[in-house]
Amino acid sequence: MTMLTVMGLRAGYGKIEVLHDVGLSVGRGEIVALIGANGAGKTTLLKTICGLLRPIAGSIEFAGKSIVHRPPHKIVALGLSQVPEGRAILRRMTVLDNLRMGAFTRRDAQIGRDIDAVFERFPALGARRHKLAATLSGGEQQMLAIGRALVARPSLLLLDEPSLGLAPKLITQIFLIVRELKKEGKTVLLVEQNARQALQIADRGYVMERGRIALSGSGEELLNTPEVQQTYLGQEPDPKSPQAKGDGGSKIRHAADDGFH
């Protein structure tokens, strides 16, 4: 079942158009990676999906419903949460209050239980629940941002550069968390600068270039694509791969192949 469908999306800032006829989809239970250079339009796409930017044209459907004209808080209430680039935690509030803010659209009696589940997942946060968020390390702040999004009980989680600025050990931990979320049945759209690790855990992926979707395919297929290897992995293409051989064994889609831009 397709959870998120974006078609013909154009968006930007003022008179500057950043996204040009973008199309992608995310199926229930998938991890879908979106990679691309800085300035390619990845964060703009997530902001538009979340309702923070109004599109110029195109459609966005979540769980079969159009969300193009819905305000952000109502999109969150439908089950779509974002962990923004830079974390955007509330630094002058405690860890516990940050997590409570994640439940601002909820009115049920299970909020406390879900916050406890975050502390169980991230013991470091539990130990510092009454400390100001500003006192947390970078890795702990990222855990807090993820935990806050989870408290909203999302069916689709958008992660924008979760490994940005973290030490290698913490980056590994973040990707393990994403794997765990998939095992728990969560659906994830992952925007990530670390193309190799993102595609290694992704069911499918998209490559964005200059505001357009340039390539799409499975995570494994994209890892073996010469364009991805040269541009995003810093390695020479594998001459044994079907993509390099051009023998027709690849299912990689280019933008011109199917109208996805």
Q: What is the pTM of this model?
A: 0.88
Which residues share a beta bridge with 11?
A: 19
Q: For the CA atoms of the chain, what is the radius of gyration?
A: 19
In the chain, the DSSP E strands lie at 2-13, 16-27, 31-35, 57-62, 65-66, 80-83, 156-160, 187-191, 204-209, 212-218, 253-254
Report residue 57 CA to chain centroid gap. 22
pLDDT computed for residue 221 by the predictor: 96
Nearest to 99 by CA among 84, 112, 81, 85: 112
Mean pLDDT of the chain: 90
Q: Give the residue-averaged pLDDT of 176-205.
A: 94
CA distance 77 to 170: 30
The tens digit of pLDDT for each residue in 123-170 reads 999 999 999 999 999 889 999 999 999 999 999 999 999 888 888 888
Express the helix, strand and coil content of the chain in percent, nearest 5 each. 35, 25, 35
pLDDT one-digit tens code per residue, 239-252: 666 555 555 555 66
